Chains A and B, each alone.
Chain A
């Protein structure tokens, strides 16, 4: 009986933890927006949270599609690190000014063991709310679906188009250029 109760309690506890992961990520975004600091300082605030909350190697593998199979272990690890830098830089550029935005957690679903979908929304003044569904595995985010559009699907299509025209080295150059663009835009007044 105790084992049965424990087996019920474990998934509930795990999914509660997953909601806490998303809450922690949202809190970091709000804090970055409120901080009024430079781009690099916002990167410093967000990087530890992204590293702890996102499954960067899974995001890297799925984003690269078939190209992932052509890479050795070192190249895969380096790409995962670069992708993490890109994700942090993107958030540091986009979440820059606080204007009464707030995140609301709506529900937590468990489609499979060790998986969860945390449904949330971003509420903004004078604009429609944005639904943000976080997909987690093992307590870490691997996909975000914003208003029905999957971030992972966008990355797969975007990166495949670049790899087909410029190769994997071209993709790395494009990502480094995009991080520089985020830094330039994120520091603009």
Chain B
């Protein structure tokens, strides 16, 4: 059997991590050198191009129009979320997403209006990384990649599907570079408040971003109720 080098790396990394007992309380980052370099490159590109574009988009396009565009592209990602909910053995979450997609695509005019949320069917936000986590791949090494941003080896396939492939599966050639650009700029605009808060608070923006992504993923994996570290019991670990 012939494996391409990239898949060999992925398989080796998966086999090395899947059973590893690494504390979930902090991100696992053995590739920190590469990740920091990648973060620095992306930060320059973001400050030079993507962030100004996102700020301009947020300033020029009225909020209801931005919401409609965000709803439209977000709706294209709901079927994948529904499948991932079912793969985790969560029929209620998968069914909610399925009903949500049908309602917003029809009554919501192609997904422009989020009718489903108003009738109690919020987006469940499931993905392949959460499926793998529920199947036992709890801890994975951190990655910071151009375009995709902070992720992990486990979450990378889901990020590629959600960010790059899912819209194309449903829109086909309709998801050309123009639509992809609007989608990307809109997603960046939705993160402006979060990245401004990070820039305001972080002493080491890379470490801050990596930890925030780790926490956010735990929150998603545990459907909004992650185990919160009992820091008050940590005297024995930290105080010497």
Where the two chains meet, the residues of A that have a C-beta atom closer than 8 Å to any C-beta of B are 58, 61-62, 64-66, 68-70, 90, 93-94, 115, 126-127, 135, 137, 142-143, 145, 147-150, 152-154, 156-162, 165, 171, 174-175, 178, 181-182, 185
Contacts and interface: CB of A to CB of B under 8 A. Distances in A.
Interface string B192-211: 01000100111110111011
A90 B200 contact: yes
Closest 9 A-B residue pairs measured CB to CB?
A148-B219, A69-B240, A161-B207, A157-B211, A161-B204, A149-B215, A62-B231, A174-B203, A126-B63
Contact of B228 (A62, A135, A156, A178): A135
Q: Which of A66, A90, A142, A148 has the most CB of B within 10 A?
A: A148
Contacts of B200: 90, 93-94, 181-182, 185
A149 B198 CA distance: 12
25 contacts: A58-B232, A61-B235, A68-B239, A69-B238, A70-B240, A94-B197, A135-B228, A137-B232, A142-B232, A148-B224, A149-B212, A149-B216, A149-B219, A153-B25, A153-B26, A153-B214, A154-B215, A156-B26, A157-B26, A157-B207, A158-B202, A159-B203, A165-B204, A178-B203, A182-B200
Nearest to B196: A94
Contacts of B228: 135, 143, 145, 150
A50 B237 CA distance: 27
A172 to B, nearest CB: 11
Given A142-B232, A148-B216, A185-B200, A160 B238 contact: no
At the interface, is chain B mostly helix, strand, loop or mixed? Answer: helix
